[in-house]
Amino acid sequence: MITPTPLMGLVTGFWSFKTFAAAVELGLFTRIAGGQVLTVQTASTEFGLAARPADLLLSACASLGLLEKTDGGYRNSALAEEFLVAGKPYYFGGQVRYCDERTYLPWHRIGEALRTDKPLTWDPQAKGSVFDADDPEMLALFWEAMYSTSIFTARALAGAYDFSGHRRLLDVGGGAGAFSIELCRQYPDLRATVLDLPHVCAQADGKIAAAGLTGTVDAVSGDFLADPALPEGYDAVLLSMILHDWDEPTNELILAKCFAALSPGGTIIISELLLNDDRTGPPEAALMGMNMLVETEGGKNYSGAEYREWLGRAGFTDIRTLAFEAPGANGVVLGRKP
């Protein structure tokens, strides 16, 4: 018998997120790192909470798989210990904070975005794009959020596609360098260049140095939209989670620049949350498209078929799609420059 139970899950989805975000804001998981146990009484004292909300928060976090109940109280689950303890290499808190502070409230006005077809997190009349550096603190949080997601997506990509045949990779719009860093770790003969805006390259330089890959990965300032051409001499060009930010004409312009920049025989690599060819899912790709309505002027998530068509028009051949599972992408579309 059909029931409205699935609808209830949709209605209450924000309960999980806001519980999660509140725990990250409090520093809960960092406080009990290393196997420490936290009681309701201690949580109440340390976080300045009354006993009832402290009890409810710990219980809810346990229900979400973020905490584990012990005889003496609560401790981090393996998931929380690995990704929610500040200072750890793959800290995911930046992603949580960015969504909580930047996109959560604008999403409350999603109806407005549907009616106006205009972004809600920034004003196109006041800024050139969502990536302009008028709010350094928020942009730093954004790139940190992207880095934590991209590291694991890059690992999945490295397993799905063999980069051993490439020597020089241009990471277009590569942000803080997560993909270049991780791919060069997995493929020691690979050298990579991150191309991004100057204030982003400064962050990439720090991440590259911290990874011990100075000389293997570098960051070059550039604007892949405004610059007439991309740097040349690369046998692979990567566009990771880039094209969903832009409309079709802009994407075709970007792909034409990538084609020109590639050496003959080189490969373009488009890593994205791909919609299926009839654009009915999967949900993570379709809902990311809705988020593009909130955050961009023309962005949307596209299907593999759409990318394959654009690549063909740009002159690429041997076009194919590979699927994988990762936090930031579910597949890659490849094309070769004749």
Exactly one of 108, 166, 199, 244 is catalytic; which is it?
244
**What is the radius of gyration, based on Cα positions, of the chain?**
21
Q: What is the Cα–Cα distance from 124 to 38, expressed in whole angstroms?
A: 46
- Whether the CB-CB separation of 196 and 181 falls below 8 Å is answered with no
Q: Using alpha carbons, list the distances in angstroms from residue 113 to 11, 121, 173.
A: 20, 10, 26
Q: What is the Cα–Cα distance from 335 to 312, expressed in whole angstroms?
A: 8
Nearest to 14 by CA among 108, 126, 121: 108
Q: What is the Cα–Cα distance from 98 to 90, expressed in whole angstroms?
A: 16
Q: What is the Cα–Cα distance from 42 to 151, expressed in whole angstroms?
A: 35
Q: What is the Cα–Cα distance from 81 to 20, expressed in whole angstroms?
A: 14
List the beta strands (DSSP E) in the chain: 67-69, 74-76, 168-172, 191-196, 217-221, 234-240, 262-272, 317-323, 331-336
Annotation says 244 is catalytic: yes
- Whether the CB-CB separation of 192 and 185 falls below 8 Å is answered with no
Residues known to be catalytic: 244
